[in-house]
Structure 1
């Protein structure tokens, strides 16, 4: 989910039946950590997903705009 929220996607990935599987390198993990530390106040939970029953995690990238 951090790849979707941050827009930082590892160079190595696989798209299969289950969705995206990422194979991040340590440099990409460090980028995610830096992104998270900078943006953690903008991360919140959204509505419960009707299909999975899980709450969605959302990122407010602009005032009132979430992904």
Structure 2
């Protein structure tokens, strides 16, 4: 998005990030920009299978914190 809504200014710098966290393409702050990016679907599937960062997640252990 570009421009501004009441009480919600847009800060720019929209970006594409790879499944491993690399910034692939980023818009500027001041100018309106249309970004295009090729996406490697095979890499997305591979990383979803191999990325186990959430496997040991136990939301029941921090439920009370999320209710604050």
What TM-score does the superposition give when structure 2 sets the normalisation length?
A: 0.30
Q: Could you say which structure has the larger radius of gyration?
A: 2
More helix by share: 1
Using CA pairs below 8 Å that are at least 6 residues apart, which structure has the higher relative contact order?
1
More strand by share: 1
